[in-house]
Structure 1
Amino acid sequence: MTHLIDTAPFKQAIDTDHVYGVGFFLGGTSMLSLAGARFEPALYKQSCAQEGVNIDCQWLQKNKVDLSKVSEPMLSRTNQDDRVKAIVAINPELTKTLDTQSLDDIKVPVKVMDIRGRQAALPELEVAESLAAIPNMTLMKTPHTTIFSAFSRCTAKGAQILALEGEGHLCQTSGQQSREEVHRLIIEAITQFVGKH
C-alpha cells in the first residue's frame, strides 16, 4: 500500500482516509492479517495433520514444503495496517489456525462472507467459529451459491477445457443463481458495507 500511495498516478488518486480491503480465499486471510489477525504457529504447522483446515496440503506435499519448518516469528508477526478502515473477507482460508486473541483485538469493522451455499463444500473454506471473537464482525451467508460462484463466468469452450483437465467443477453453479447474479450480490454486499464505513 505504501508503494501504491507513493507511486504516480495513484498518489493523487488515493484517498488515504478511506482505505478498504476486500479479499477472496487466501486474499481474505490477507485482509484479516491487515486488520490485525495473526496465525497461531502451532495450529498452522499442524494444519495438514487434520482434514478440513488447509486447502493447500496436496500442493504443499507435492512441492515438498514442510510446514513444521516454517518460521514461528514470521507466522506470529503482525501485519496490521492502521490505514485500512474496514475489510471484507470472502471465505478466508486458514481461519482455524488464527490466534483468537489477535481476532479479539481487531478494531476495524469486518464483514465475512460465506458463499459455500447449502452444500457447504470444501470444509477448508468454512468460516471458523473463532472469527466470532472479532468485536465488530458481520457474517453473511448466501444459500444459493457455491464456492466457485465468485469465479469468472464460464464460456462453453472454457467449461470443455476444464472438464478435460478434470476441473469441471470450477464451472459449477447452484442452479438457482447465475454467476452474474452472484457477482452482483457480492458487489452490492461489499459496496453497502464499505459505504457505511
Structure 2
Amino acid sequence: MISHGAGGNGGQFGWLASRLVQAGFVVVLPNHSGSTSGPARAAEALRIWERPQDISAVLDSLQGFPMVDPARIGALGYSAGGYTFLTLAGARVDPARLTSFCDRGGRGISDCAFFAQAGLDLHAQDLSPAAQDLRDAHIRFVLAVDPGIVETLTRQSLAAIDLPLLVINLGEEAKVPAPVHARRVAETVPGASYLVVPDAIHFSFLAECKPKGAAILAEEGEPDQLCSDAGGRTWAAIHADLLVVILPWVSNRW
C-alpha cells in the first residue's frame, strides 16, 4: 500500500510502484478523498483521521483477491501518507498539539498556508477524533518518507509500536522542515531505522516533472518546489538512490 501526501495523488509514485511490481509485489495506490490534487479541500484535508480509515476500507475490500496475501501487507507513506501509516501502526495524535500546529506558521511546509487561504482556524475545529486508535492489524511493516505532523504524535503511542519501521528524511537533516523531521519518531519506536537522503528536498519523492512543468506551475502561482532539483542532483538520481534502499528493505521484511 502506498499513501500520497496532502494535495497529492497516487499517480505521483509510478516511478516507485513500477519497480515494486517488477520485484513481484502487488501495489495499491488509493487516492484520499478531499486531499488529492485539484479537488483538495482544506476542511476535508484537516480531518486527518479519515486517511487511515480510507486505507483500512481499501484493505477490507481487497480481502479474497487471489493475488493478495492478507498476512503479507506492507505500507509506504509519503508526507501525510507517512502519518497515515504511522497511525495504522499504532501511533496516536494529541489533539491539543494538532490544534496548535499552525500557531508558529508552516515552518517550511505549505499545509498551514492552505488552511489559512481557506479561512480555516484550527482552534475553531473539533479535532478530538484525531486521538482515536486507528491501528490496523493487516499492516505488517511501515516505511515512512518525510512523514507529516510528527510533532503531534504522542511518545507513549510511538514507543508501543511493534512493527518494523524505516523512516527516511529528505535533505540535510538540519534543513528538514520541523513538521516532517522524524528522527524522534525513529528513536522512540523500538528497533526502528532512520535514514537521511542528502541533496534532496521534501518534494524529491514525487514523479519527475515534464519539460513544461515548471513553467506551468509558475503560471498557476504554485508555491511549492514541485519541479526543483536539489543540491545539483536530478530527481532521477535521487530516485535511483532511494530505490537502492527501499527495494531491499521491503523485500527483506518477509
| Shorter-chain TM-score range | 0.7 to 0.9
1:14 to 45, 68, 76: 68
Please show how residues 96-107 of structure 1 align to structure 2 within 5 Å.
96-107=151-162
| Structure 1 residue aligned with 2:114 | 59
1: CA distance, partners of 2:230 / 2:58: 40
What's the CA shift string for 1:54-109, capped at 9, x where partnerless? 74111112223232244354111011111111000100110011111000010101
Give distance in 2, aligned partners of 1:20 and 1:3: 13
Is residue 2:253 matched to residue 1:186? Answer: no
> Which shifted more, 65-74 or 27-36?
65-74
Matched-pair contact (CA < 8 Å) for 1:148–1:173: no
Find the residue that maps to 1:47 and give its secondary structure.
coil
Residue 173 of structure 1, CA deviation: 1.0
Structure 2 partner of 1:154: 209
Q: What's the TM-score, normalizing by structure 1? A: 0.87
Counterpart in the other structure of 1:85 = 140
1:24 aligned to which of 78, 102, 110: 78
1:26–1:93: 8 Å Cα contact kept in structure 2?
Answer: yes
Hey, what does 1:42 align to over in structure 2? 96
Specify the code of the residue in structure 1 equivalent to 2:134.
N
Deviations 1:44-63 (A, max 9, x none): 11111124397411111222
CA shift, 1:130, in A, is 4.6
Query: 1:163: which partner in 2?
Result: 218
Any residues of structure 2 matched to 1:66-145 within 5 Å, and which? 66-117=121-172, 120=175, 122-127=177-182, 129-145=184-200
The aligned counterpart of 1:174 is: 230
What do the CA deviations read for 1:139-180 (whole angstroms, capped 9, x no partner)?
A: 110112222211221222112112323447321112443211
Q: Which amino acid aligns with 2:236?
A: E
Are the aligned partners of 1:95 and 1:128 in contact in 2 as well (CA < 8 Å)? no
Q: Distance in 1 between matches of 2:108 and 2:154?
A: 14
CA contact (8 A) 1:24 1:90 kept: yes
Distance 1:47 1:191 in 2: 34
CA 13–40 in structure 1, closer or farther in 2 if over 3 Å, else same: same
Q: Distance in 2 between matches of 1:144 and 1:6?
A: 39
**3-state DSSP of counterpart to 2:244:** helix
Looking at structure 1, the residues matched to 121 and 138 of structure 2 have their Cα atoms a distance apart, in angstroms, of 34
Separation in structure 2 between the aligned mates of residue 54 and residue 38 of structure 1, nearest angstrom: 21
Q: Gapped runs of 5+ residues in structure 2?
A: 1-55
Question: Which amino acid is 1:149 matched to?
Answer: S
TM-score, structure 2 length as denominator?
A: 0.69
Retained in 1: the 8 A contact 2:109–2:177?
no
1:86 is paired with a residue whose SS is strand
Give 3-state SS (helix, strand or coil) of 1:174's partner: coil
